[in-house]
Amino acid sequence: MSEEFHLDDVDRRIVQALQRDASQSHATLAESVGASPASVWRRVRALERAGVLGAAVRLADPARLGRSVNVLCQVRMNRQTQESRAEFESFIEGREEIVECYAMSGEWDYLLRIAVRDVADYDRFIRRGVLAHPSVANAASNFALRQVKYTTEIPV
């Protein structure tokens, strides 16, 4: 794990503000955090170099893009070798339907969040993709009925 980066109060306000809206200008950001634009620019660059801030992205609406079905899929591997895990993780990287993947402790080896158009789309994906992978022993799927909470903001 990486070492924690120590933030002062202004850094915290910058990170909080940028997590809410990364499109604001440095002048607007500076005004909202109570610092000069030049200071904010230097701080943002330092936070980027330290890896605290990553790429600025725009969040897309899955429903508007025809991907409103969220499936949480637990995967159990039939082999626990580094090679089989690397092959499976490479497979995961290449599948656009998989929007999140976590290596897990406990009964299951991986947890995937999969965004698909409908149940038939998921059925094709799971049978021809995940379950067809030679390292996969089995999988269990849960369909999200509705999203209660979703945030990309990390507490600062």
pLDDT in tens, 52-105: 999 999 999 999 999 999 999 999 999 999 999 999 999 999 999 999 999 999
Same CATH fold, 69-143 and 9-49?
Answer: no
Q: Is the pLDDT of residue 143 over 80?
A: yes
Cβ atoms of residues 110 and 104 within 8 Å: yes
Q: What are 112-122's pLDDT values in tens digits? A: 999 999 999 99
Enter the CATH code of domain 69-143. Answer: 3.30.70.920
Q: What are 3-45's pLDDT values in tens digits? A: 788 999 999 999 999 999 999 999 999 999 999 999 999 999 9
Average the pLDDT over 106-131 and give the result. 97
Domain 9-49 fold: Arc Repressor Mutant, subunit A (1.10.10)
pTM over 0.75: yes
Long-range contacts for 43-51 (Cβ within 8 Å, ≥24 apart)?
A: 43/10, 43/11, 43/14, 44/14, 44/18, 47/5, 47/11, 47/14, 47/15, 50/5, 51/2, 51/5
Ordered by start, the domain boundaries in the chain are 9-49, 69-143
